[in-house]
């Protein structure tokens, strides 16, 4: 049985709070526990999907001291110790929507070379993904400058590959679900997130061998 209770409209409005400590306090008290439950609900299902355990990690934003985060998330990686070094999935929330994404961060040195090889070998085929919602490629790992994958041509593909190879850039592809969509308000979001991740899974499988393990 799913634990996740859904997001309320008040949860989204937390991102309107201007003051750093107040917003962080609300995120820790109100949002992080929900993301943890969402992670616990999803991770067993994702293990079956990808063929190895994916451990949930709720974002802590521990390095922030002044500017409050504009989004927060639970990430799923194959390491119990963290997610930033590895290709991973994220389900998160910001002011206007819930997002579900496949992410390789700039510091994802364990999997970035595999992603680059996959994009080089498969080219446009790597973006032959389907979901009921539009799927976007983003310029960074916080959903900046969405570009619809169905519009990716060879010129755009070359740009994406170039940006991916730049040390300071990562790679992000995913969907959004508007804050007023009834799906976000209950446990149905667990199923919707799983289905979106299933549609993004070819990117994960192309980046990371299912046989690959991480030292404990």
In a domain, 215, yes or no: no
Please check the confidence at residue 179 and state whether its pLDDT lies above 70: yes
- Beta carbons within 8 Å of 85's beta carbon, 6+ residues apart: 79, 107, 108, 109, 110, 111
Please, what is the Cα angle at 80 between 54 and 40, to 5 degrees? 50
Q: Tell me: the pLDDT tens digits for 14-29?
A: 999 999 999 999 999 9
pLDDT level of residue 212 (50, 70, 90 thresholds): low
**What is the mean pLDDT of the segment spanning 73-99?**
96
**What is the mean pLDDT of the segment spanning 135-148?**
89
In a domain, 184, yes or no: yes
In a domain, 198, yes or no: yes
User: Cα separation of 65 and 89, whole Å?
Assistant: 26
Res 58: pLDDT? 96
User: Cα separation of 77 and 75, whole Å?
Assistant: 7
pLDDT level of residue 209 (50, 70, 90 thresholds): low
In a domain, 216, yes or no: no
In a domain, 1, yes or no: no
In a domain, 162, yes or no: yes
Q: Nearest CA to 131 among 101, 161, 90?
A: 101
Question: What CATH number corresponds to the domain at position 202?
Answer: 3.30.930.20
Res 216: pLDDT? 36
The maximal CA–CA distance of the chain, rounded, in angstroms, is: 47
8 A C-beta contact, residue 43 and residue 56 = yes
Q: Tell me: the pLDDT tens digits for 89-120?
A: 999 999 999 999 999 999 888 899 999 999 99
**What is the mean pLDDT of the segment spanning 77-96?**
96
Where in the sequence is the domain holding 109, given as residue range(s)? 9-122+129-207
Please, what is the Cα angle at 196 between 89 and 126, to 5 degrees? 75
Mean pLDDT score of the chain: 92
Please check the confidence at residue 211 and state whether its pLDDT lies above 50: no
Res 215: pLDDT? 39
User: Cα separation of 210 and 187, whole Å?
Assistant: 28
Q: Tell me: the pLDDT tens digits for 28-55?
A: 999 999 999 999 999 999 999 999 999 9
Res 141: pLDDT? 76
Number of domains forming the structure of the chain: 1
Q: Which two tokens stand for residue 5?
A: 């209770």
pLDDT level of residue 81 (50, 70, 90 thresholds): very high
In a domain, 143, yes or no: yes
User: Cα separation of 116 and 52, whole Å?
Assistant: 22
8 A C-beta contact, residue 38 and residue 46 = no
Element (H, E) at 36: helix 32-50
Q: Tell me: the pLDDT tens digits for 189-207?
A: 999 999 999 999 999 999 9
pLDDT level of residue 56 (50, 70, 90 thresholds): very high
Res 43: pLDDT? 96
In a domain, 213, yes or no: no
Res 108: pLDDT? 86
DSSP 3-state of 62: coil
């Amino acid at each position: 049985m799913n634990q996740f209770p859904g997001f309320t409209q008040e949860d989204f409005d937390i991102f309107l709070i201007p003051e750093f400590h107040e917003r962080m306090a609300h995120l820790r008290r109100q949002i992080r526990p929900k993301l943890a439950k969402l992670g616990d609900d999803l991770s067993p299902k994702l293990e079956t999907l990808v063929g190895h355990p994916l451990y949930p990690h709720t974002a802590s934003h521990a390095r922030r001291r002044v500017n409050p985060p504009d989004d927060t998330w639970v990430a799923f990686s194959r390491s119990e110790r963290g997610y930033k070094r590895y290709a991973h999935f994220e389900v998160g929330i910001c002011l206007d929507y819930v997002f579900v994404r496949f992410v390789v961060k700039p510091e994802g040195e364990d999997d970035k070379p595999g992603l680059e090889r996959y994009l080089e070998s498969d080219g446009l085929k790597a973006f032959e993904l389907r979901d009921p919602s539009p799927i976007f490629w983003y310029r960074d790992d916080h959903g900046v400058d969405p570009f619809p994958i169905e519009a990716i041509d060879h010129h755009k593909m070359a740009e994406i590959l170039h940006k991916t190879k730049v040390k300071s850039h990562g790679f992000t592809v995913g969907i959004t679900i508007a804050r007023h969509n009834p799906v976000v308000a209950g446990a149905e979001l667990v199923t919707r997130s799983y289905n979106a991740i299933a549609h993004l899974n070819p990117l994960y499988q192309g980046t990371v061998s299912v046989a690959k393990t991480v030292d404990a």
